[in-house]
Each structure stands twice: as structure tokens, then as C-alpha cells.
Amino acid sequence: MTNAVQVEGRLLSVELGSSNSRHRSTNVLYRYEFGEEVHQSGRLALFKQTGSFYEPLKADLEHNRPIRVWVDPDHPQRAFLDWDFVLWPFAGGLVFSVGWTSMGFYLMMRAWRASRNDSRETIIRRSRRRNR
């Protein structure tokens, strides 16, 4: 969605969603027009936790203010209210994936070396038996 287009939309509903141990979510439904078609969406943010959006969106709904909607022009049914990139989840995921990948390679190398050493010992044992 690098070529997203900003359009005006209207909120239809805003609700405080379920919460897990640390974060609450916000559920929305909004309508927007792109081209000559009217679309509805409930997508809120690409990269952020959605709990912080509840209060401002609830105020926008109560005062019937227009909202800014980012629409993918190639797929107009895909829209978001916020698509700003946040570095820390990306960086955290990158560190996590590099760490687990490194651990996997390390374990594969240890297994390969162990199997190679076992096969050498087997060959040495067999050759000793033949020489006796």
C-alpha cells in the first residue's frame, strides 16, 4: 500500500473491544467513497495497537466529524484509518526471527557434525575388526 490515497469517510460505529492482558482493542465500522463506489471497512491500523484510537474516534462519531481514510487504489475495498509505520514491532520481530534462525542453524550443524563423527567411529571400528 505504498501508493495509498487519502479520502474522506464517516464513522458508523466505534466500540471498545476485548482486552488481553496488556492491551485493549477498538472496533470500528466506517464508510468511504472511492471512485464512484461506496465501501465499508472495519480495519483500523496496520502497525499499531488499536486501544489508543477509541477516545478520539468516539468523539468524532459523536460530533459527526469526517475522518481520514487511506485507500489502496488497486484494491479499493482495502482501507485503513492509520497506516503509519512503527519501527519497534518490526525491529523486535526481526531480532526474534534472526535469533531463532541462528539457533536452528547451530542445532543443524551440531547434528551434522555428530552424525559425521559417528560414521567415522563406525568405519574405524569396522577396520579394526578386519585387521585382527
pTM for the whole structure: 0.57
5-14, 31-40, 41-50, 73-82: the lowest-pLDDT one: 41-50
Whether 126 shows a pLDDT value over 80: the answer reads no
Whether 55 shows a pLDDT value over 90: the answer reads no
Query: Which DSSP letter does residue 51 get?
Result: G
pLDDT value at position 65?
93
pLDDT value at position 108?
92
DSSP string, 60-117: HHHTT--EEEEEETTEEEEEESB----HHHHHHHHHHHHHHHHHHHHHHHHHHHHHHH
Whether 84 shows a pLDDT value over 90: the answer reads no
